[in-house]
Amino acid sequence: MELPPDLPASPGGDDSWDGEERAEARKETLHLEIDGWEGPLDLLLDLARRQKVDLRRISILELVDAYLTYVEEAEALRLELAADYLVMAAWLAYLKSALLLPKEEQPDPSPEELAMRLQLRLQRLGAMREAAARLMARDRLGRDVFLRGAPEGLRVERKARWQCSWYDLVRSYGDVKVRSQPVVHMVRERMVMTLDSAIARVSSMLGITLEWMELRDFLPPAHDAWTNEQLRRSALASSFVAALELARTGKVELVQEYTFGPLRLKALRS
Amino acid sequence: MSTDIKPAIDDLVRAVEATLFAAEQPLTAEQISTHLGKADVRAALEELQGHYEGRGVRLVERGKRWHFETAPDLAHLLRREKEEARRLSRAATEVLAIVAYHEPVSRAEIEAIRGVQTAKGTLDVLMEAGWVRVVGRREVPGRPVIYATTSEFLAHFGLSSLKELPGVDELRAAGLLDPVDDEMIGEALRPQPVETSDEPPDTEYDE
Amino acid sequence: MSTDIKPAIDDLVRAVEATLFAAEQPLTAEQISTHLGKADVRAALEELQGHYEGRGVRLVERGKRWHFETAPDLAHLLRREKEEARRLSRAATEVLAIVAYHEPVSRAEIEAIRGVQTAKGTLDVLMEAGWVRVVGRREVPGRPVIYATTSEFLAHFGLSSLKELPGVDELRAAGLLDPVDDEMIGEALRPQPVETSDEPPDTEYDE
């Protein structure tokens, strides 16, 4: 049978800034107030201290008996014990019976070792509890010793060391001069085919044929002024808008077989 | 007004004295040095410390930071009642001691030593007081956060370093500060049996 | 730590020293006395004042109230300046250039040349840098302040006089006055304008 020194943590064993008086009250009502303990290890430590010997020399058997008695008393008084106290009681009962067995019949791990580990845990907790008390009793800042009440304070003021290069300076002046020069906007005249003339041209050409015609066929033949590339682009754009406009008003049918494919039109006869 | 003969005090010593007097926080030797244009202030600090020995105010080093404070034997004259009001609970003082003597420690390790779960607020109270802080994570499965004390902790309790913790050498020699082993943590964190008292009281009942 | 022989300091002096050190406000002799159980603190205050004479900290009485303060000759330690290199903003550089090329100039003139309003802080920055200063007032209505550059300005830019600044012709030759190519921007950013598109398309027409 394996039952390790199971010390499940008990919840809510803590509180923050008050506990002193409670510890006092607990000592007086030891046999009644089981809730006051911070878990079974805390109770065990207190019981161990009652043996009034060094924690290294406590009698584990005596300690186990004290704990079991305590738990029994609590049960007799119908106090509700947290489960971890009962788990600890069960384990201690097991430890006691194992310790009482003849050496050769003792289980593994040996009860002596389990007892030693329990003792070490009590010592560790006891040591920390004493250390805490000694720490709290030291001369504490703000209670026993004090810092200067009204320090002037140290301040570091950051001061800029400004940087600017000769080039930045001269370049900036150039920028200012450029910006302040009077600005004259010239709008260059461009040769374009207006939308009106494109509509007139497309509708008149559609009147001649009943066949499908590609949009590009409506452009004026490339000679004289019409060789100008910009003018040709303008004419194409205007003819396209003209074609859309004529389609919208139901005068032509417009077909494009695929994206970016040739755009073809045909007059609609009503 | 003074008529006694005093040795002229070194300018650097005066500067260090004035700087520490004026400072709102304890300062490291490096901070003082930076403030005073990179001067080497070690010797000046020692001279000052010597000068203030036995006076009503003394110069102390706490966790590498220096500050002036009133002499502890004058506590009875200076003690302020209102400061006493805020006392740490037993749980909080215990957790604080465990962190200081074992740092860095994880919460599971603290709980293993105490044998109880530590309420969430307990570590918060210590961190809020500025005495404990998170210093990283332990590189074990679960990567638990680990805690350690701060220089404010040392200053508050008048310790130059953790080596001055009361009884620390004896406790270490007795093996009571050995690292908490996994087995111990395992014991403390074993899942709890379900407690019926945790269930909300039954408020619905028939006549 | 100190090994020198010092006269044992009077307990009352120590108590007064600690009390004044920890006090949050200057205290009258009566307040100190009350705090220390009605002791007569006059002599202690004088002894303390003598002790601190010449140190980095001194004990002073102002309007019957006593307090410690940093020695006045060390006041500069409390407010230390730290220099940081900072690049002049574009606006400040322009204003500086205008002052250099046109000095002395008023703020209104600077704004007229820049074609933009100049923030108050811009001239302040230049004066803080030590490059620009007020040299008088222009004798026109409103008597505006006029600015000019300083010898630090010349030193910073490695000029022996303002005549060494490149003239407008030289700037042009260096390409610093070339107007930004309008046409290039037009080509890059603007859609080809279609003049007729400004007119609403005529949708009604007859064959």
- Is the pLDDT assigned to residue C179 strictly greater than 90? no
Whether the per-residue pLDDT at B201 is higher than 50: the answer is: no
Q: How far does Cα B205 stand from its chain's mean position?
A: 53
Q: Out of A39-48, C19-28, C107-116, C165-174, give the one with best mean pLDDT.
A: C19-28
> Looking at per-residue confidence, does C180 or C204 come out higher?
C180
B155 pLDDT more than 90: yes
CB contact under 8 A, C178 and A172: no
DSSP A49-95: HTT-S-GGG--HHHHHHHHHHHHHHHHHTTPPPPHHHHHHHHHHHHH
Beta-carbon separation of B97 and A82 below 8 A? no
For each of the domains in chain B, give its residue range(s) and CATH number, in order of start: 11-77 (1.10.10.10), 90-189 (1.10.10.10)
Q: Which residue of B has its CA nearest to A5?
A: B187
pLDDT of residue A10: 45
Q: How far does C93 lie from chain A, in Å, by closest CA?
A: 6
Confidence of residue C10 (pLDDT cuts 50, 70, 90): confident
C60 touches chain B (CB under 8 A): no
CB A29 within 8 Å of CB A135: no
Give every CB contact of residue B162 below 8 A, 6+ residues apart in sequence.
Answer: B100, B103, B149, B154, B168
CA–CA separation, A49 and A67 (whole Å): 12
pLDDT average, residue stretch A7-18: 45
Residues on chain C touching A160 (C-beta within 8 angstroms): 83-86, 128-129
Contact A97, A111 (CB under 8 A): no
Neighbours of chain C (3+ CB pairs under 8 A): A, B
Q: How far apart are CA C73 and CA A267, in angstroms?
A: 102
pLDDT for residue B162 is more than 90: yes
Q: Do B56 and C21 make contact, defined as CB atoms within 8 angstroms?
A: yes
B207 pLDDT exceeds 60? Answer: no
Is a pLDDT exceeding 90 seen at residue C159?
Answer: no
Tell me if A164 and C96 make a contact (CB, 8 A cut-off): yes
pLDDT range class, residue B179, cuts 50, 70, 90 = confident
Block residue for tokens 């969430």: B120
Average pLDDT on A215-232 reads: 80
- pLDDT (tens digit per residue) in A179-214: 877 666 666 667 788 888 888 888 888 877 778 888
For an interface test with C, the pick among B4, B53, B77, B82 (most C C-beta atoms closer than 10 Å) comes out as B77
In this prediction, residue C149 carries a pLDDT of 93
Taking only the tens place, the pLDDT of each residue in C86-99 is 888 999 999 999 99
pLDDT in tens, B97-143: 999 999 999 999 999 899 888 877 889 999 998 999 999 999 888 89
